[in-house]
Structure 1
Amino acid sequence: MDAVEPKLVPEVFDTAVVSVALLRGPEHRLVYYNDAFRRLFGPRTIDAPAAEAFADEQAAPFITLLDQVYEDGLARQVTSPRASAGTAPGAPGPRYFVYSCTSVASRHGRGVLVVAVDTTTEVVAAERAEELSQQRQQALERYEALVSAVSQMVWLLRPDGSMTELVEGWEDFTGSPWRPVMDQGWLELIHPRDTARLVQAWADAVAGPPAMFEATFRVLTASGEYRHVRSRAVPVLREGRVAEWIGATADMEDEWRARLRERLLARVSAAPGQHLRGVFAAMAEAVVPDLTDACAVFRLPDGDGQAAEDVIATRVASAARPGLPALPALHSQSYRVGPVAREVIDSRLPRLLTFAAGHPPDGVLPDVSVRWLAAAEATSLVLVPIVVDSAVVAFAAAAGCGDSPPPSAADIALLTEVLQQAQKALRDALEHQHTRRMALILQRAQLTPAPSVPGADVAARYQPASTTAEIGGDWYDAFFLPDGTLALAIGDIAGHDLTAATAMGQLRSMLRALAYNSNRPATPADILAQLDRAAEGLDVAPFVTIVLVHLVLRADGWHAVWANAGHPPPLLIPADGPARYLAGRRADLPLCVDPDTGRSVHRRTFGAGDTLLLYTDGLVETPEAGLTEGLDRLAATATAARHLPVEELCDELRRVGDRRDDIALLAFRPRI
């Protein structure tokens, strides 16, 4: 930092253990050097330009470094070997130094402060121990790291606990005077979350074997905001004992924030885009606890609600750091947004609210969320709009709790950026949700209610898959033919989403037309053969399974005739016996495989109380179990529930299926 008035008194370095020199002006005239410098480099002419004071061959890069620091005021350091002209003990040969040059102002005017640390002993010791150049570089870098922060604050800690600021900067950074001892007053400037960790780390360093101390923590600055700093210190040994610690503290907020930003953006970018709630959950979890103590995401209705008087938002995801109260369940979390949230939605700008600990304002969030904020001793709340393709689809509420300070403008900007980073995943999830909705609308429009059948009960159920990717292929139908025959059909079309739903609608209409308009009595096998040729020729679907049943009431009961094109077999649930499958001697091929294949006809008579169940594979197939196990489970459940009315029976049986796939059921039970 550039000094605006002379502050540095070079004589403070007279007894310093490191070599220090001060040069002034553009010629870098030498105006001061301490005894440690003289012992290492020999006497130099005071007020001589650097080109004369340091005239040896190795000085040219050093003078170039001085020019750069004097010109732009930026501190620099370099590690370099050079010959020593002083009386320092040691074997002959090159010595190794770390030079740090800092722009300063003193009574001599503007100039450059040079700190040189002799690292020869460490380098030679490493070479002798390992005989590897890597050890030498590590030793040099260890000391280079120490003096790299000279442009900020350098301090000396003595055994009695007193502290001296060798290079000033603490008061400018914090707005508080330098304290000569690390007491409670000094610790009050440290972030409450970092105090205990910092104190323990320092205690461990002092109590353990001599080694470099390094810690990163937050300090309250003169602007009222916390910034991350890094402190490094090394023990100075005399006669094998620690005589003092010399350390440096540097502002590293920009570096810390850049690393945090990179980490958070990578985390939220990895959110999968299949399920909207999953994306919102990943967004909330990405910012906790690094950026906020708790975060909840509230979904808005389609169209972001800007045209509606009342906007209903629903909490769909939340996360909180350890140590806070358990989060409330996600159910019953819809509420009518208040003026604050509405302002965030309309303006598309974040809004910060601060309040007394545990006293959040009413109406900003649902009552259950407000009660949680009170229990968590929340002190701040940031509402951030989540925008996808110019539409506000949700907003996030990030809370600071306990001793956490309110977020700074930089914190809010980073929070907003991280939440917006999920654009692609959100867009994909929204597209999947829209596709799911359209497929369901189309599919349900085709799945008409079961007709009223004299002398029998008919019930149907359709349960969409819990995953968007599995919706669209299953269907059922029940209708009367011109001669009074009841036709029941159930099937499954390969494919999902709108493609399968559209093909289902076409195939259903074709089946109805072929069955209804037949010029001669046609069996289900005849109709499926015609449907197979039409579907193949018109390229309606790549693969279709279907069961078609004709039911006619006669004097001795209901007579059933059916054909099965590759579909799971119908299930007979007798009124007084175990359920069993009605499988033919051989399975016919699905439709759209070989239109010229022959189709089999099956016949059966049903009595009063018997139930014929048609179903799709989602009821019996799961990734975890085989088809046989699923069929056995369905038959056992049907047997146990056969006494239920047919509507209740369907509700009971659909619970057997895999929620990850579509399920369609069609049940027929004669009453006479």
Structure 2
Amino acid sequence: MPEPQLTPEVFDRAVVAIALTAGPEHRMVYYNDAFRDLFGDRPLGAPAREAFTEPGTERLLATLDAVLTDGTARQVTAHRTLGCPTGGTAHRHFVYSCSPAATRYGPGILAAAIDTTAELHSALEAERQSAERLEALQRYEALMAAAAQMVWVVRPDGTARELVPGWEELTGQPFAEAAGLGWLDVVHPREREATAARWAAATRDLPSVFDHTFRVRSAAGGYRHVRSRAVPVLHEERGHEWIGTTRDIEDQWHARLRERLLARAGAVTEAERAEDAFTALASTLVPDLTDVCAVYLLPGPDAADDEVVATRIASVARPGLPPVPPLDRQTFTLGEHARKAVTDRVPTLLRFPDGAIPAGAVPEISARWLHDTRATSLTLLPIVVDGAVVALAATAGCEGAPAPGPADIDLQHEVLQRAQAPLRQALALQRARHAAVVLQRALLTTPPALGGAAVAARYQPGSRNAEVGGDWYDAFTLPDGSLAMTIGDVAGHDLAAATTMGQLRAMLRSIAYTRGQAHTPADTLRELDTAAEGLGVGSFATAVHARLVRHGADGGWEMEWANAGHPPPVLLPVDGPPRLLSAEDADVPLCVDPRRPRVTHRHPVGPGETLLFYTDGLVEVPGEHLGDGIARLCEAAAAARRRPLADLCEHLVTGVADVRDDIAVIAFRPDPPGRVAVGRAAPGAGSGGRP
């Protein structure tokens, strides 16, 4: 019985590509539409070798030969690829099978092919995306590892986990304890509240990026700056979560701070007053490195004496702390710790319970302030200029602040050493001050002791430059038993002014002492003016010169005086308002025109009344009318009129808040009625006359 022959037309509508070959040359005798879509048109009747000429068809021809030879069907499941015949996708992929078949053309092969292009492309795309994701992940992990960042995620329920660990290594706090808001426990106490508020605002308002820099307690001790950056990831159903990084930036932060502070310290310029230069220098440390900085000037290079007395010259505190004590030239003897810092020339850190300041570290008034602000540490830093320790700076952390770390202390010391030029000037001013004080003490003698009256004086050098100028006072007994009393002011605030003052004072003393009773105060000032011009001593100066003579049996005195352009004397009665002893037409100052006439004025000074001579430093305030200052002096003097004379002078001088100019005061007071005056010294004549 003949073998059934295959009728290929049954495959015309099949979705699988079908082709039929016949004979040993595998001539193409049939293919359907699906075959044409997959492979394109092929010549019917042509051998397979001519019908399929694409590279790689040798595998197909070998399969056809094998099937025809042994009659065994074969499948090729590995994807085969050929160029697309109709454009579109660059390549088509397929698998196929070959089976023996009997055809009307004789023995042949039925070939069936399945298009796997879409399937293979999907698999390849998935593989490509998977590879890209893997590569991106590898790059991200490498980047995170290289940047030494901690990576974390906070889930919508508030729980957190680390993706790239490091929190415990940095802070010593296990990350499990940092979940929620536990991480705030290691944030610097002064920054904890602000940091918590920033995070709460971020979780509430969902900004595009949370970015905040703060300090955390280090596992190794001290605090380090970190920067946290995070972004919210929104989920419609589950709420939002945060993914972020935290990075230790202490080294970068410290480097930027160092550059900024050193630039600020280098910008400190030479100031008119040493206080201004040291205040500007202290301000470079506050508040970036410390809460408060005070500078204490030492008496000489390296302070080699057994007892070293330093003077507070500058104080600066951060906003939010109480005002620092005013600069009233507080002095203190350096204690053990302060002396060690000066001797060893290295910073000394003192830690102590809140407010328990070690004795001798700072003046008592500063120690009380530090106690009230709950200081917990004090750093003593020697300031060296030209190889000598000229000052000691003290910085402190207040309100329970942690002590500074070694890097912060080193930076404080480096900044203080940066402003060498103004500090060198301060050292020169210190030396000039010492010479000026010696000169001033030599020129300003103690007022004489009188029977029946008291004389007291007080001199306060100005706080600028060399702290010496042309202000002077004088009082001495004349041969006839009367009292000569003078107040004067030479223009200038330097050693030249002080030298001129000394010359004028000596000449006036000589003229007043030798001319006799008939010589009036106006005559004395006129002769002084002439001699100053002739000897080339001339320098603009003002003065009041008076002679006081006992008058009557009631203990009163008669005063005659001349005023060369000086603020008027004040007469303070036992009761009632003070009086200014002024004239309508005041005489011109000294060294202006010796030929101008001068006038002598007269006025009684009754028992118990007080006569005040003073220089303008006591009453003059820049930008204010001089009359306002004189009125203020009269009010203060009236309120203190019952005090002993020396105490009154001290009270008036110390009542000046900012002693920018020299101040000289000399006062005279006849004894009140009923007091025995013969043979006793004037009250306060010794202590009240000290410069």
What TM-score bracket applies, with the shorter chain setting the length? 0.5 to 0.7
Does 1:528 find its partner at 2:525? yes
| Greater RCO structure (CA 8 Å; 6+ sep) | 2
**Is the partner of 1:546 in helix, strand or coil?**
strand
CA contact (8 A) 2:485 2:545 kept: yes
The answer for the alignment partner of 2:227 in structure 1 is 230
**Is the partner of 2:147 in helix, strand or coil?**
coil
- Over 3 Å counting, the alpha-carbon distance change for 1:497 and 1:179 in structure 2 is same
- Report deviation, 1:493: 1.4
- Map 1:133-282 to 2 at 5 A: 151-153=147-149, 155=151, 157=153, 158-159=155-156, 182=179, 197-198=194-195, 200-209=197-206, 211-219=208-216, 226-236=223-233, 245-265=242-262, 273=271
* Structure 2 counterpart of 1:389, one-letter code: D
TM-score (norm 2): 0.60
The answer for the alignment partner of 2:130 in structure 1 is none
Q: How many angstroms apart in 1 are the aligned matches of 2:557 and 2:184?
A: 89
Q: How many angstroms apart in 2 are the aligned matches of 1:581 and 1:402?
A: 52
**Is the partner of 1:468 in helix, strand or coil?**
coil
**Is the partner of 1:260 in helix, strand or coil?**
helix
- Over 3 Å counting, the alpha-carbon distance change for 1:257 and 1:667 in structure 2 is same
The alignment covers a number of residue pairs equal to 532
* Structure 2 counterpart of 1:304, one-letter code: D
The answer for the alignment partner of 2:666 in structure 1 is 665
- Report deviation, 1:490: 2.2
Does 1:462 find its partner at 2:458? yes
Q: How many angstroms apart in 2 are the aligned matches of 1:609 and 1:195?
A: 66
Superposed CA RMSD:
5.3
**Is the partner of 1:664 in helix, strand or coil?**
strand
CA contact (8 A) 1:464 1:471 kept: no
The answer for the alignment partner of 2:588 in structure 1 is 589
1:597-642: CA deviations, max 9, x gaps? Answer: 2223445566766665443334554447534445556567767877
CA contact (8 A) 1:360 1:374 kept: yes
The answer for the alignment partner of 2:476 in structure 1 is 479
- Report deviation, 1:508: 0.7
CA contact (8 A) 2:357 2:371 kept: no
1:101-128: CA deviations, max 9, x gaps? Answer: xxxxx9x9xx996569xxxxxxxxxxxx
- Map 1:283-322 to 2 at 5 A: 287-292=285-290, 300-305=298-303, 307-311=304-308
The answer for the alignment partner of 2:345 in structure 1 is 348
- Over 3 Å counting, the alpha-carbon distance change for 1:220 and 1:601 in structure 2 is closer
**Is the partner of 1:504 in helix, strand or coil?**
helix
Does 1:499 find its partner at 2:500? no
The answer for the alignment partner of 1:8 in structure 2 is none
- Report deviation, 1:366: 6.7
- Report deviation, 1:507: 0.5
TM-score (norm 1): 0.62
* Structure 2 counterpart of 1:667, one-letter code: F
Q: How many angstroms apart in 1 are the aligned matches of 2:615 and 2:566?
A: 8
Does 1:616 find its partner at 2:615? yes
1:393-446: CA deviations, max 9, x gaps? Answer: 444455567886554332221121233345455444454454445434323322
* Structure 2 counterpart of 1:447, one-letter code: L
**Is the partner of 2:589 in helix, strand or coil?**
coil
CA contact (8 A) 1:312 1:337 kept: no
- Over 3 Å counting, the alpha-carbon distance change for 1:361 and 1:613 in structure 2 is closer
* Structure 2 counterpart of 1:593, one-letter code: V
Q: How many angstroms apart in 2 are the aligned matches of 1:352 and 1:247?
A: 38
- Over 3 Å counting, the alpha-carbon distance change for 1:644 and 1:312 in structure 2 is closer
**Is the partner of 1:598 in helix, strand or coil?**
coil
**Is the partner of 1:569 in helix, strand or coil?**
coil
* Structure 2 counterpart of 1:233, one-letter code: A
- Over 3 Å counting, the alpha-carbon distance change for 1:666 and 1:296 in structure 2 is closer
Q: How many angstroms apart in 1 are the aligned matches of 2:655 and 2:478?
A: 33
CA contact (8 A) 1:533 1:595 kept: yes
- Over 3 Å counting, the alpha-carbon distance change for 1:529 and 1:250 in structure 2 is same
* Structure 2 counterpart of 1:540, one-letter code: V
Of 425, 441, 445, the residue aligned with 1:444 is 441
**Is the partner of 2:302 in helix, strand or coil?**
coil
Q: How many angstroms apart in 2 are the aligned matches of 1:642 and 1:217?
A: 59
- Report deviation, 1:459: 0.9
* Structure 2 counterpart of 1:596, one-letter code: R
Identity %: 49
The answer for the alignment partner of 1:47 in structure 2 is none
CA contact (8 A) 2:619 2:633 kept: yes
CA contact (8 A) 2:275 2:313 kept: yes
Is 521-530 or 182-191 further displaced after alignment?
182-191
The structure with the larger Rg is 2
Q: How many angstroms apart in 2 are the aligned matches of 1:329 and 1:583?
A: 35
Of 337, 350, 355, the residue aligned with 2:335 is 337
Q: How many angstroms apart in 1 are the aligned matches of 2:157 and 2:654?
A: 75
The answer for the alignment partner of 1:509 in structure 2 is 506
- Report deviation, 1:535: 1.9
**Is the partner of 2:544 in helix, strand or coil?**
strand
- Map 1:59-138 to 2 at 5 A: 114=139
Is 236-245 or 249-258 further displaced after alignment?
236-245
**Is the partner of 1:549 in helix, strand or coil?**
strand
Q: How many angstroms apart in 1 are the aligned matches of 2:627 and 2:147?
A: 76
CA contact (8 A) 1:299 1:395 kept: yes
- Over 3 Å counting, the alpha-carbon distance change for 1:327 and 1:441 in structure 2 is closer
- Over 3 Å counting, the alpha-carbon distance change for 1:426 and 1:168 in structure 2 is same
CA contact (8 A) 1:156 1:244 kept: no
Is 249-258 or 511-520 further displaced after alignment?
511-520
* Structure 2 counterpart of 1:459, one-letter code: V
Q: How many angstroms apart in 1 are the aligned matches of 2:484 and 2:644?
A: 21
Does 1:543 find its partner at 2:540? yes
1:474-503: CA deviations, max 9, x gaps? Answer: 222233455666433322211123232211
Structure 2 unpaired stretches of 5+: 1-120, 123-133, 678-691
CA contact (8 A) 1:235 1:242 kept: no
- Over 3 Å counting, the alpha-carbon distance change for 1:279 and 1:249 in structure 2 is same
The answer for the alignment partner of 1:567 in structure 2 is 566
- Map 1:627-638 to 2 at 5 A: 627-632=626-631
CA contact (8 A) 1:619 1:658 kept: no
Q: How many angstroms apart in 2 are the aligned matches of 1:646 and 1:371?
A: 32
- Over 3 Å counting, the alpha-carbon distance change for 1:192 and 1:487 in structure 2 is closer
Does 1:488 find its partner at 2:489? no
Q: How many angstroms apart in 2 are the aligned matches of 1:655 and 1:180?
A: 59
Q: How many angstroms apart in 1 are the aligned matches of 2:171 and 2:287?
A: 26
**Is the partner of 2:492 in helix, strand or coil?**
coil
1:164-214: CA deviations, max 9, x gaps? Answer: 766677687678887798467866665565566555544433332351121
* Structure 2 counterpart of 1:337, one-letter code: G
Structure 1 unpaired stretches of 5+: 1-85, 88-105, 117-146
- Over 3 Å counting, the alpha-carbon distance change for 1:277 and 1:654 in structure 2 is closer
Does 1:418 find its partner at 2:419? no
**Is the partner of 1:593 in helix, strand or coil?**
coil
- Over 3 Å counting, the alpha-carbon distance change for 1:168 and 1:150 in structure 2 is farther
CA contact (8 A) 1:149 1:250 kept: no
**Is the partner of 1:475 in helix, strand or coil?**
strand
CA contact (8 A) 1:314 1:335 kept: no
